[in-house]
Structure 1
């Protein structure tokens, strides 16, 4: 999997949200911006909307008719945790992420 594959990005986002939850740390929303993943805004919107629709995250709100998102209340859900820890594709994404994490500024120290 490439660093910009859907499942790799979903893995990174869910991993960050889960680690923040477990550690009791505030989420730095700037780390969740499309540019930090090296992807276009339209692709990022698709990913965030998909994670919301699949029930992996809550607190994502669509603003206006242009599809802008408010993610200031984003958090991982129990379904997101299950997907992160149990899904076969997430296992593959984790391996891909570990191979490219030096090139991606998100999740420093993880």
Structure 2
């Protein structure tokens, strides 16, 4: 597994939103965007991941606009507040890919997430 694998990035986004919810912190887009402390990936890749998470019902706070015309890019629009859904929490806890991503990130991610949120996050 690599730090830019889709499952790893999905885990980071979902975990960030879940920890915000649990700690009463309003999520900030700049904390979990494509060029943030949590990740550094191309914007188009991040947009696709957000679209998947929205369309599968795992997060709220974005509208996804897919154009059926060939060669038109996917667009997302922010609708704040950003939040993880109950379905997203279940996916984070029960999906085998999310468990692998958690194991991959187990040593450093909780420290980075703690610094972004200003609270101590347990692995």
TM-score range, shorter chain: 0.7 to 0.9
Match of 1:89 in 2: 97
- Note the C-alpha offset of 1:72: 2.8
- Note the C-alpha offset of 1:62: 4.0
Q: 1:74 aligns with which of 76, 82, 91?
A: 82
Q: Any gaps of 5 or more consecutive residues in structure 2? A: 68-72
Q: Any gaps of 5 or more consecutive residues in structure 1? A: none
Deviation per CA, 1:44-71, whole angstroms, max 9, x where unpaired? 00000000011101121247x7614315
Larger radius of gyration: 2
What TM-score results when the alignment is normalised by the length of structure 2? 0.76
Match of 1:59 in 2: 61
CA contact (8 A) 2:62 2:76 kept: no
Cα RMSD after superposing both structures: 2.4
Higher mean C-alpha displacement, 73-82 vs 24-33: 24-33
CA contact (8 A) 2:54 2:64 kept: no
What TM-score results when the alignment is normalised by the length of structure 1? 0.84
Residue 77 of structure 2 aligns to a residue in which SS? Answer: strand
- Note the C-alpha offset of 1:99: 4.4
- Note the C-alpha offset of 1:25: 1.2
Higher strand share: 2
Aligned residue pairs total 109
CA contact (8 A) 1:3 1:100 kept: no
Higher helix share: 1
